[in-house]
Amino acid sequence: MTSKMLFGETRTRVERDHALIGLDSHVPSPLVGWENTQGVVLISPAMRGGSGGPRFAQYLVRGSEGSRTTGAAPGVQRLVYVLAGTSTMDGKPLATDSFAWLPPDSKYDLSVPQDCELLVFEKLYQPLEGVAVPRQVVGTLAGAPTAPFLGDPDAMLATLLPIEPGFDMAVNVFNYKSGAALPFVETHVMEHGLYMRSGMGVYRLAERWYPVQTGDTIWMGSYCPQWFVAMGKQPASYIYYKDIHRDPLFPPIS
């Protein structure tokens, strides 16, 4: 038993407008809507009792024999990102660093074999009058449009989903060279769910600075001040969700 276990220490913090969930506090459990599947629910409205907390869900899926799903809850959209291994959707492989955006109320057969791990974002889809619900999107990180963030070649931003009004979520991947940082402290109406894919750094959330590393999860509520710097000898990378393209006066009911 380590000293941290002995004295009940953890890097995990859950605050009013943000949270850091470390690997050391993960608790696997069965996942609703998935067969023979264990996972870890990292972010959900339950984080703050469903009031003033996250308006989406983010969780890990750890595959095993017979792990599969055929769709999300009614009205819920999903983005599935393959962190490791290869899954199969409708008979076609989804390899590491592939992803699929699955429209609400769509049916599919997604199988997750042993040694495969997925990151999943779910959100109740909010229709936009006069705009059709987009069709399924399948792609890879390597094929996603990528550009320097605000002109900084040391901070490259890959955009996984089209930036179109039909989509009310965006999922992007940020890659930083060591020492690169966000150019200013951001404060905005969008909320974020973030997963550290690799490397390490320091994240400012509200008035606190947190060391972060591979496998960490962060929730940033609307208007939570936020900033990041990559540190260490290796580059850092994270994948993150945000809500977009909808009137903030009429948020979806969660």
The answer to whether 144 touches 158, Cβ cutoff 8 Å, is yes
Instruction: Answer yes or no: is 251 within a domain.
Output: no
Which pLDDT score, from 0 to 100, does residue 250 have? 83
Which pLDDT score, from 0 to 100, does residue 2 have? 60
Instruction: Answer yes or no: is 249 within a domain.
Output: no
Tell me the percentage of the chain whose pLDDT exceeds 90. Answer: 91
CATH of the domain at 142: 2.60.120.10
Mean pLDDT across 207-231: 98
Q: How many domains does the chain have?
A: 1
Residue 77: pLDDT over 70: yes
Residue 254: pLDDT over 70: no
Residue 235: pLDDT over 90: yes
- Average pLDDT over the chain, rounded to an integer: 95
Which pLDDT score, from 0 to 100, does residue 6 have? 65
Q: What is the pTM of this model?
A: 0.95
Instruction: Answer yes or no: is 145 within a domain.
Output: yes
Mean pLDDT across 29-57: 90
Which pLDDT score, from 0 to 100, does residue 106 have? 97
Instruction: Answer yes or no: is 248 within a domain.
Output: no
Instruction: Answer yes or no: is 138 within a domain.
Output: yes
Residue among 125, 143, 117, 145 nearest 214 (CA): 117
Which pLDDT score, from 0 to 100, does residue 52 have? 74
For 184, the domain range is 3-243
Cβ neighbours for 47, distance < 8 A, ≥ 6 positions apart: 14, 19, 53, 54, 219
**In DSSP terms, which residues pair with 87 in a beta bridge?**
94
Mean pLDDT across 168-178: 98
> Which one is predicted more confidently, 137 or 6?
137
Distances in Å between the alpha carbon of 252 and those of 11, 88, 164, 166?
32, 31, 18, 15
Q: How far apart are the first and last CA of the chain?
A: 40
Instruction: Answer yes or no: is 142 within a domain.
Output: yes
Q: Give SS3 for 203.
A: strand
Residue among 70, 42, 72 nearest 57 (CA): 42
Note the pLDDT tens digit of each residue in 94-128: 999 999 999 999 999 999 999 999 999 999 999 99
What six digits make up the tokens of 225? 């001040």
